[in-house]
A and B are shown apart, each in its own frame.
Chain A
């Protein structure tokens, strides 16, 4: 059981280049999230999705786009990379609360993508 898988693990880009980060989960989770983590700061939500075909902005969405065409995949795109987007990016997923499951299911994280923009 792979859990949450992120690709690539590392990437170096030049300013202005574009790229897509892929997140795949095999736990049949409804919710998926993209976070960034910078030194001395907590995890900040970029975008999230509560189901296939739906996405929404988080706390720091500028400069990023996302898509969720399939339930198991959540893509994060950088259209024109900037040095301020140098960060570690984490994808996470969780169940949607329903039935006997209490509200707020724990998130499961991928092992991160380390992105440097020169």
Chain B
């Protein structure tokens, strides 16, 4: 099992739709979780950090389920500008705080 797994997609959704991605992780000791968005051939940009049960920022909500070891990202009222690849990143505390495990990303296409 990979340390961090994401469905690569693509998820094709119409404008205004709600879409959710899941990210599963294998290390149950992980303490910190992050969602980044990455546009084609550009740098990852931090979307939100999750340290407890979840986090919300406008149209974006992240939920952490420690029992099932996954973190989800919900995007409400999708915009064309939300089209990007969404990276899940896990910091497995047991391995030292410097280490970050990246998923390969979930690609989202929002269609007009």
Known contacts A43-B44, A110-B43; is-contact A104 B105 (Cβ 8 Å): no
Choose among B34, B46, B93 the residue that contacts A103 (Cβ–Cβ < 8 A): B93
Residues from chain A with a CB closer than 8 A to the CB of B59 are none
Max chain A Cβ within 10 angstroms of own Cβ: one of B44, B100, B103: B100
Are A106 and B46 in contact, with the CB atoms below 8 A? Answer: yes
Q: Of A33, A50, A112, which is within 8 A of B43 by CB?
A: A112
- B32 proximity list for chain A (CB < 8 A): 102-105
**Could you give, for residues 85-99 of chain A, a 1 whenever the CB lies within 8 Å of some chain B CB and a 0 otherwise?**
000101000001100
Is A111's CB within 8 Å of the partner chain B? yes
Interface presence of A48 (CB below 8 A):
yes
Contact A43 to B91, CB < 8 A, known contacts A104-B31, A112-B42: no
Count of interface residues, chain A, beta-carbon cutoff 8 Å: 25
B101: min CB distance to chain A, Å: 9
Which residues from chain A contact B49 at a C-beta distance below 8 Å?
Answer: 106
Closest to B46 in A: A106
CB distance from B102 to the nearest CB of A (A): 5
In chain B, positions 6-53 with a C-beta closer than 8 Å to chain A are 31-32, 34, 41-46, 49, 51
Partner of A109, one of B44, B51, B98, B103: B44
CA of A102 to CA of B97, assembled, Å:
10
Question: In B34-80, which residues have CB < 8 Å from any A CB?
Answer: 34, 41-46, 49, 51
**B42 with A42: CB separation less than 8 A:** no
With A103-B93, A104-B31, A104-B91 known to touch, is A109 a contact of B45 (CB < 8 Å)?
yes
Minimum CB–CB distance from B45 to chain A (whole Å) comes to 7
Q: Are B43 and A111 in contact (CB under 8 A)?
A: yes
A43-B102, A50-B98 known; A104-B44 Cβ under 8 A:
no
Chain A residues packing against B (C-beta within 8 Å): 31, 33, 40-43, 45, 48, 50, 88, 90, 96-97, 102-112, 114
